[in-house]
Structures are given as C-alpha cells and as structure tokens.
Structure 1
Amino acid sequence: MKKGTDWRYRVSNREAIMGTVLAILNFIWWYAFAYGLGGRPIKEYTYIFGFPAWFFYSCIMGFVVFTILVWIMVKFFFKEVPFELDETSDKEEGDAQ
C-alpha cells in the first residue's frame, strides 16, 4: 500500500496540522501576556488571586483555555483510526500484482 492511497495518512496529517496550529497559538498567547503585561515596572503590576496579572493570564488562564481547546479538538475533530491493515484491501492489492 502506498502512502498517498491510504485514507489514514490524510486524517493523521490533518490532525497533526491542527495540533501544530494549537501549539503555535498557545505560544503566542503565552508570549503576548507574559511579555505584554510583564514588561512594565513591578510597581505598576496588577494582581489577580495574588498572582501578577501577566503570570495569571499567560500561565494559569492559558493552561485552562488551551486544555479546553484540546478537549474540544479531540472530542469533535479527531477520528478513531485503526492501526491494523484492512485485510480486504490487502487481498485486492495482492490480486492486482
């Protein structure tokens, strides 16, 4: 079976792209809040639950938001893909050769 003919490769490539995009968005979120809010003098910091706002939004809220996004992505967009080869398609390929 060639790589391009198996439907599982298309599914895995799509899911890998989705995961990579989510990881890049997570980094952008973290960087924007950590350096955007954390780049001020310490006397100007605001605090949320005792944490500096930059830390709360970048690390705590970022973790919560992206954990929910991963759950949504896995629950609704990822597909169950069997690892075993389909015996009927193997027989058809063997007959064609």
Structure 2
Amino acid sequence: MKKGNDWRYRISNKEAIMGTVLAILNFVWWYAFAYGLGGRPVKEYTYILGFPAWFFYSCIVGFIFFTILVFIMVKFFFKEVPFDSDDNDGEGDSR
C-alpha cells in the first residue's frame, strides 16, 4: 500500500499538526507569563498562594490549562486508527 493512498496518513498528519500547534501555544503561554510578569524587579512581584505571579500563571495554571486541552483534543478530535494493514495478502495472523 502506498503512503499517499492510505487514509491513516491523513489522520495522523492532522493529529500531528494539532499536537504541534498545542505545544507551540504552550510555549508561547509560558514565555509570555514567565518573561512578561517576571521581567520586573523582585520587589515589585505579586504573589499568589506563595508563588510569584509569573510562576503561578506560567507553570501552574498553564500546566492545568494545557492538560485539560490535551484531554479535550484526545477525547474529541483524535481517532482510533488500526495499525494493521488493510491488505489481506495472507501474511500475518488471522484472528
């Protein structure tokens, strides 16, 4: 079976792009909060639950938010794809 004709490649490419976009968004979120709020002198920091605000938003809230987004993506957008070939050429086990 050729790579271009297999429907599983389209699905896996779409899911790979979605995962890459999510990873880039995670980095942008982290960078924006870490260097946006953390770029001030330490005396000007605000604290949330004992953590500097930049750390709380970039690392704690960001982790929770993107974990939920990954769960939503996997649950609703990713599809179950069989790994075995569609061709029945007599090879392999037949269950």
TM-score, normalising length from structure 1? 0.89
CA distance in 2, matches of 1:43, 1:86: 64
Query: Are 2:62 and 1:75 equivalent residues in the alignment?
Result: no
Runs of 4+ in 1 over 2 A off after TM superposition: none
Distance 1:87 1:25 in 2: 39
2:68 & 2:39 partners in 1: Cα distance? 28
Distance, in Å, in 2 between the alignment partners of 1:47 and 1:62 is: 16
Counterpart residue number, 1:62: 62
Amino acid in structure 1 at the alignment position of 2:83: F
SS in 1 for 2:83: coil
Match of 1:8 in 2: 8
Structure 1 residue ranges without an equivalent (≥5): 92-97
Matched, 1:29 2:60: no
The percentage of aligned residue pairs carrying the same residue is 83
Separation in structure 1 between the aligned mates of residue 19 and residue 31 of structure 2, nearest angstrom: 18
Q: Deviations over 1:11-62 (max 9, x none)?
A: 0000000000000000000000000000001010000000000000000000
Deviation at 1:87, TM superposition (A): 3.6
Give the distance between the partners of 2:32 and 2:22, measured in 1 at CA: 15
Name the structure with the higher helix share.
Answer: 1
Query: RMSD across aligned C-alpha pairs, in angstroms?
Result: 1.2
Task: Give the deviation of 1:86 after TM superposition.
Answer: 1.6
Counterpart of 1:39 in structure 2 is 39
Letter in 2 for 1:31: Y
Q: 2:49 aligns to what?
A: 49
Which residue number in structure 2 is paired with residue 18 of structure 1?
Answer: 18
Which ranges in structure 2 are unaligned for 5 or more consecutive residues?
91-95
Q: Which residue of structure 2 aligns with residue 94 of structure 1? A: none
